[in-house]
């Protein structure tokens, strides 16, 4: 059991951190003994624990007692833990070398974390506030330059390692089902359903420019092959026949995606109301945000998609900042799907600090907007479905890979080999950390003039070869929601103190992966699948009591 001593303003961040690091914990109680105590609070009493992890930039009484001398104070640096870069967004203090301690975190300005071992206990002194960092990641999110680092998940991995390194076993519910390394959500924002609806408007003229002048430029930039240039020009030549209905609309997305993703569930976010650009949209091009279609124009395809096991969600227009309009948008999609617990991804990924609370009040079960337009990676530093601070029931499915971010000239502007490398890095992190990898490919990205379809086919093929569970966004959120509903209860019986898993919902499918980590040299860990329908209890680690001063 881990006892937590936080600052009062960080209590919501503590609670969410331990939904992601799903292990037994409670707020510290003076009359209890703990295997581990994690403290960031201003006042830390003497504690009965095998490990005290003491975070913060304030000088502590234990620093002097253990010959830990604070050095310089910094802001917005990175620390390194065994070769892994970890951005720190708040203040950071470094320490001078200690005769009794060894460095466990370093920075460009010196030691950022010290491990001091005693006869019966260990203190790890860290020069930043963990829960302040978690609060920042879950609310503000990471700047673009650190988007490629799953920072919050690395905080979890670092704390887990420190616990195991001092010889304390750890019970955890992993963020992935048994037999899989991670989850995959294939998603599509449907902004257009064909070019036939766009005659002599901005969309048509933009297509013609990009297919002529822009295409030739991309040939010289080695972003477009001659073969694809010819296909683009044939598409331009066919445009009058497309408008007359004599040729197939080359921007029609659904048939292509259903073929590429055969037997793989995907999630489509559909526009609820046409000709609405939305209110409060920033930027000079706000009027162009309106769509020429809405879900009522797709009766055939919505039925076909649901028949194939796909999920239909809301591609929200005003839901991000208006409760009533957000509810109307939800009702519009629900009338077609007949479902509840609908999710939303906001058109253009618009959001502000109030968006989670607004979406929750409008009735959405989850949001899938938390990502970047300008890059790929981890806006909130995690692979996991999480609850945004300020929400009570709404969960957030993070967005990790977006086609436009990879290939648009105004964004990363990557070649296909460069984009493959960036995606591979995110897949490797997913395999290491678990959680979900969410991919967004837009409706017309497979077609002229973009031609990002071949890359997507290769990406899907790569993901299929990985040990992943493909699921809809709603299925991923539902699985993580059930994981969150599990509680750890400390009970006394004839065998002593035990940790029991408590869950009161329907059976969890696929089941949870419950792991009892054992320290190195103490034997292999134990893993069991658990669907919540049986009683499971684990012995608490046995150790001799000791006191660790603050």
Each residue's pLDDT tens digit, 373-400: 999 999 999 999 999 998 999 999 999 9
pLDDT of residue 549: 40
Q: Has residue 496 got a pLDDT over 80?
A: no
At residue 524 the predicted structure's pLDDT band, cuts being 50, 70 and 90, is confident
Contacts from 333-341 at CB under 8 Å and sequence distance 24+? 333/270, 333/272, 333/295, 336/295, 336/296, 336/302, 336/312, 337/302, 337/306, 337/312, 339/312, 340/365, 341/365, 341/366, 341/474, 341/478
Contact between 436 and 186 under an 8 Å Cβ cutoff? The reply is: no
Q: Has residue 495 got a pLDDT over 90?
A: no
- Return the beta strands (E) in 209-340 as ranges: 266-270, 311-316
pLDDT of residue 547: 38
Lowest mean per-residue pLDDT among 40-44, 210-214, 391-395, 414-418: 40-44
Question: The tokens of 187 are what?
Answer: 């998603």
Question: The tokens of 500 are what?
Answer: 């029991």
pLDDT of residue 541: 62
List the alpha helices (DSSP H) in 382-533: 403-407, 416-433, 453-465, 473-485
Q: For the CA atoms of 64, 68, 72, 73, what is the dihedral angle to 10 degrees?
A: -80
Q: For residue range 251-286, what is the model confidence (pLDDT) as tens digits?
A: 999 999 999 999 999 999 999 999 999 999 998 889
SS3 for 433? helix
First to last CA, the chain: 19
Domain 182-194+251-479, classified CATH 3.40.50.10470, yes or no: no
Percent of the residues in the chain that have a pLDDT greater than 90, as a whole number:
81
Query: Would strands 34-39 and 78-81 be described as parallel, antiparallel, or unpaired?
Result: unpaired
Q: Has residue 294 got a pLDDT over 60?
A: yes
pLDDT of residue 47: 86
Residue 508: name the closest of 536, 533, 471, 541 by CA: 533
330, with CB counted inside 10 A (0-12, 13-18, 19+), is buried
Query: Would strands 487-493 and 468-470 be described as parallel, antiparallel, or unpaired?
Result: unpaired
d(CA 252, CA 265): 19
At residue 31 the predicted structure's pLDDT band, cuts being 50, 70 and 90, is confident
d(CA 58, CA 42): 8
Question: The tokens of 159 are what?
Answer: 């704390």
Q: Has residue 362 got a pLDDT over 60?
A: yes
Residue 368: name the closest of 474, 265, 443 by CA: 474
pLDDT of residue 205: 94
Lowest mean per-residue pLDDT among 21-25, 90-94, 490-494: 490-494
Domain ranges of the chain: 2-173+541-548, 182-194+251-479
Bridge partners (DSSP) of residue 75 are: 91
Question: The tokens of 417 are what?
Answer: 């080999």
d(CA 24, CA 16): 13
d(CA 66, CA 308): 63
Q: For the CA atoms of 207, 212, 217, 221, what is the dihedral angle to 10 degrees?
A: 70
For the 2-173+541-548 domain, the top CATH level (class) is alpha beta
Query: Would strands 526-530 and 512-517 be described as parallel, antiparallel, or unpaired?
Result: antiparallel
Q: Has residue 550 got a pLDDT over 60?
A: no
Phi, psi (deg, nearest 5) at residue 532: 90, -5
Name which residue leads in pLDDT, 73 or 160. Answer: 160
What is the average pLDDT across 304-324? 97
Lowest mean per-residue pLDDT among 10-19, 421-430, 521-530: 521-530
- Per 3-state DSSP, the chain is made up of helix, strand and coil in percentages (nearest 5) of 35, 25, 45
List the alpha helices (DSSP H) in 371-415: 403-407
d(CA 386, CA 396): 5
- pLDDT, the chain, mean: 93
d(CA 233, CA 236): 5
Q: Which residues contact 150 (CB under 8 A, 6 or more apart)?
A: 378, 381, 382, 383, 429, 433
Question: The tokens of 350 are what?
Answer: 């618009």
Rg of the chain (C-alpha set): 26
91, with CB counted inside 10 A (0-12, 13-18, 19+), is middle
At residue 117 the predicted structure's pLDDT band, cuts being 50, 70 and 90, is confident
Lowest mean per-residue pLDDT among 59-63, 105-109, 169-173, 340-344: 59-63
Note whether 2-173+541-548 and 182-194+251-479 share their fold: no
Q: 531-540: string of b/e by CB count within 10 Å (b at 16+)?
A: ebeeeeebeb
Contact between 310 and 298 under an 8 Å Cβ cutoff? The reply is: no
Bridge partners (DSSP) of residue 125 are: 54, 114
Lowest mean per-residue pLDDT among 239-248, 395-404, 423-432, 522-531: 522-531
């Amino acid at each position: 059991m881990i006892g937590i001593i936080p600052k009062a303003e960080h209590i919501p961040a503590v609670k969410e951190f331990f939904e992601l690091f799903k292990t037994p914990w409670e707020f510290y109680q003076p009359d209890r003994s703990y295997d581990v105590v994690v403290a960031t609070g201003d006042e830390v009493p003497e504690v009965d624990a095998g490990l005290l992890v003491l975070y913060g930039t304030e000088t502590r009484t234990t620093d002097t007692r253990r010959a830990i001398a604070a050095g310089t104070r910094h802001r917005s640096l990175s620390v390194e833990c065994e070769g892994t870069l970890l951005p720190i967004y708040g203040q950071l203090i470094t320490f001078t070398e200690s005769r009794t301690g060894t460095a466990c975190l370093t920075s460009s300005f010196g030691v950022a974390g010290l491990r001091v071992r005693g006869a019966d206990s260990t203190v790890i002194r860290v020069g930043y506030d963990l829960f302040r960092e978690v609060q920042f990641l879950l609310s503000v999110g990471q700047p673009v330059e650190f988007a490629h680092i799953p920072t919050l998940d690395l905080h979890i991995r670092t704390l887990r390692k420190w616990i195991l390194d001092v010889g304390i076993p750890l019970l955890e519910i992993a963020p992935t089902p048994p037999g899989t390394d991670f989850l995959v959500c294939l998603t599509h924002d449907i902004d257009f359903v064909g070019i036939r609806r766009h005659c002599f408007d901005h969309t048509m003229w933009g297509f013609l420019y990009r297919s002529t002048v822009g295409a030739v430029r991309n040939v010289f930039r080695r972003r477009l092959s001659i073969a694809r240039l010819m296909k683009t020009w044939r598409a331009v030549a066919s445009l009058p026949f497309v408008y007359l209905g004599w040729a197939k609309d080359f921007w029609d997305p659904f048939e292509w995606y259903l073929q590429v993703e055969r037997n793989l569930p995907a999630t489509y976010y559909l526009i609820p109301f046409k000709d609405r650009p939305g209110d409060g949209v920033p930027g000079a091009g706000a009027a162009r945000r309106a769509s020429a279609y809405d879900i009522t124009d797709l009766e055939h395809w919505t039925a076909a998609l649901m028949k194939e096991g796909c999920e239909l969600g809301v591609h929200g227009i005003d839901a991000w900042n208006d409760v009533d309009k957000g509810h109307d948008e939800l009702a519009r999609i629900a009338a077609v799907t007949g479902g509840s617990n609908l999710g939303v991804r906001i058109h253009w990924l618009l959001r502000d600090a109030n968006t989670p609370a607004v979406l929750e009040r409008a009735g959405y079960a989850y949001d899938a907007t938390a990502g970047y337009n300008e890059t790929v990676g981890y806006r909130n530093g995690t692979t996991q479905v999480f609850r945004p601070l300020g929400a009570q029931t709404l969960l957030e499915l993070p967005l990790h890979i977006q086609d436009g971010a990879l290939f648009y000239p105004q964004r990363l502007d990557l070649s296909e080999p460069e984009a493959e490398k960036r995606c591979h890095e995110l897949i490797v992190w997913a395999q290491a950390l678990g959680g979900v990898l969410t991919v967004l490919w837009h409706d017309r990205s497979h077609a002229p003039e973009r031609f990002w379809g071949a890359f997507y086919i290769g990406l899907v093929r790569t993901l299929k070869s990985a040990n992943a569970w493909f699921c809809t966004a709603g299925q991923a959120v539902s699985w993580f929601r059930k994981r969150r509903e599990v509680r750890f209860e400390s009970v006394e019986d004839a065998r002593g103190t035990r940790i029991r898993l408590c869950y009161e919902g329907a059976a969890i499918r696929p089941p949870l992966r419950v792991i009892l980590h054992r320290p190195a040299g103490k034997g292999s860990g134990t893993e069991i699948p658990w669907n919540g329908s049986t009683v499971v209890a684990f012995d608490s680690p046995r150790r001799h009591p000791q006191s660790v001063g603050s």
